Amino acid sequence: MKQSITLGKVTKFMGLGFLSTLKDLFTGKLGKEDFKNFLRKAVVPLASILLFIGLWHAGAKALYNREANFKIEKALTDQGETAAEAMRACIASGDVSCKPNTLPSPGQVWDSYKSLLRDHNIISADKAAFIQKTAALNAKRIAAGKAAITYTGRPSFIDQIIMSLKTVFAGFLLALVIAIPLGIFIGLSPTLKSAFNWFIQIFKPVSPVVWYLLVFMIVKTILIDSNDDSSFIISFISVGLCSMWATLVNTAMGVSSVDKDYINVAKVLKLGPFQKVFKVILPSSLPLIFTGLKITLSVAWMVLIAIELLAQSPGLGLFVWEEFQNGANDSNSKIIVAMFVIGIIGFLLDRIMLTIQNAVSFDKNEGI
């Protein structure tokens, strides 16, 4: 019997069950029980989102007024009545020069989001034009054995998101390549376990900032001859080293705690050591390994921002830091946009990993 794959199953599998409830609402397939369910799963979250935005709006307004009043008071005490009047008029007109700098309102954040997208379109167009303009020249340069001229304009917000994702995936792959084999060896051999245990216990709680500094010391010296920008290399290695611990520990635990029944099967069938690892031990510890990988990916995404900021790697972390340093009138709202983008991408990454994890998992007692 072949199981059909429906939208409902897929969304449920990904932990996005509320989507299918929404679909049922629009196609009119809801019963009375379902309606209660719908209230709980779709209306309540929606209401809480609206409440959140409302509170945010009110809070932002209160902060704005406090900041504005402070500015007017200051003008009054420092420069007198006329300056205070001028300041009040200036603030009321919404002029950039005297705008109170505080928590932006939801509306401002939305505007900044749109302006960042516009900015991206402009930069993309500029980039395309540049590539077209230099195409002929670059062809000649390459033919002459010289390096092609590349676009060196500033990256757009979208470019920075892509850069961050690249860094995180490179770091994640590094963590995977180090942690899984090492975890398997540690899990298989009690000797290796005692050899590595202190190492894991000591380095696991080290902060991302310290990892960055350590990697920086080493990579800087190794790449001393190179003129290329090493910030990407440094940041992805730091991200990988920071986040690999969950996978390492989970893999070792999964491998060392394989059900005794499976080990007995392997013995009775007389599987060789290689076969035993690949056909019995690894498949049975896959669920735990994937739990580890899921934690690793979310940790990687979390530490990425701090590390990019330190490494000056052109991703979201650097974007946030530059906007903060920049202090333009829409900087604050751009930071909030970045915050939401970081949160949403983190959520999506987590869901992707959960989907893969569900696909490889099996109930521990299924074969027994």
Partner 1 sequence: MAYLELNNINKTYGESDSATQVLSNINLSIEEGEFVAIVGFTGSGKTTLVNLINGLLEPTSGEVLFKGEPVSGTSHERGVIFQNYSLLPWLTVGQNILMAVKEAFPKKSKVELNEIVADYVEMVSLTPAINKRPKELSGGMRQRVAVARALAMKPEMIIMDEPLGALDALTRGNLQDEILNIWGKDKRTALLITNDVDEGLYMADRIIPLKPGPKATLGPEFRIDIERPRDKTELNDNPSYKKTRNAIIEYLMDIGNARKSEAKAEIILPDLTPKDFVNQF
User: Which of 218, 261, 278, 340 is close enough to bind partner 1 by CB under 8 A?
Assistant: 261
The answer to whether 262 contacts partner 1 (rule: CB under 8 A) is yes
CB of residue 182 vs partner 1: minimum separation in angstroms? Answer: 23
Closest C-alpha among 336, 317, 319 to residue 103: 336
CA distances from 342 to 173, 316, 339, 347 (A): 20, 8, 5, 9
For 336, counting Cβ atoms within 10 Å of its Cβ (0-12 exposed, 13-18 middle, 19+ buried), the class is buried
The single residue among 279, 321, 355, 358 that binds partner 1, judged by CB under 8 A, is 279
Please report the DSSP string for 177-197 in residue order.
HHHHHHHHHHHH-HHHHHHHH
- Interaction of residue 267 with partner 1, rule CB under 8 A: yes
Residues binding partner 1: what is the number (CB under 8 A)? 20
Query: How far, in Å, CA of 69 to CA of 67, rounded?
Result: 6
What are 146-152's contacts with CB under 8 Å, separation 24+? 151/127
CA-to-CA distance for 75 and 217, rounded, in angstroms?
A: 49
Residues 28-57 that bind partner 1 (CB under 8 A): none
Residues numbered 343-362 forming contacts with partner 1, rule: CB under 8 A: 362
* Segment interacting with partner 1 (CB under 8 A) among 10-18, 147-155, 192-200, 279-287: 279-287
**Piece of the chain touching partner 1 by CB under 8 A; list 26-34, 155-163, 275-283, 321-329:** 275-283
Nearer CB in complex with partner 1: 110/262:
262
The smaller minimum CB distance to partner 1, of residues 343 and 367, is found at 367
Task: Give the contacts of 223 (CB within 8 A, at least 6 positions apart).
Answer: 230, 233
Instruction: Using the structure block, give the residue that is written with the tokens 């990687």.
Output: 300
Would you say 84 or 280 has its CB closer to partner 1? 280
Q: Output 184 or 341, the one with its CB closest to partner 1.
A: 184
Q: Which is nearer to partner 1, 244 or 258 (CB)?
A: 258
Contact region with partner 1 (CB under 8 A), list: 81-89, 261-269, 304-312, 343-351: 261-269
280 binds partner 1 per the rule CB under 8 A? yes
Dihedral, CA of residue 6, residue 294, residue 174 and residue 151, to nearest 10: 60
Question: Closer to partner 1 at the Cβ: 181 or 283?
Answer: 283
At closest approach, how far in Å is the CB of 365 from partner 1? 8
**Given 27, 96, 205, 270, the residue binding partner 1 (CB under 8 A):** 270
Mutual orientation of helices 282-311 and 157-188 as an angle, nearest 10°?
A: 140
* Residue 13 in the binding site for partner 1 (CB under 8 A): no
Q: Hey, what are 360's tokens?
A: 């490889």
Tokens representing 207 are 């902060």
CB atoms within 10 A of CB 280: 19
- Which two structure tokens, joined as six digits, stand for 326? 């920049």
273 interacts with partner 1 by CB under 8 A: no
Which residue ranges make up the site for partner 1 (CB under 8 A)? Answer: 261-262, 264-265, 267-271, 275, 279-280, 283-284, 286, 362-363, 366-368
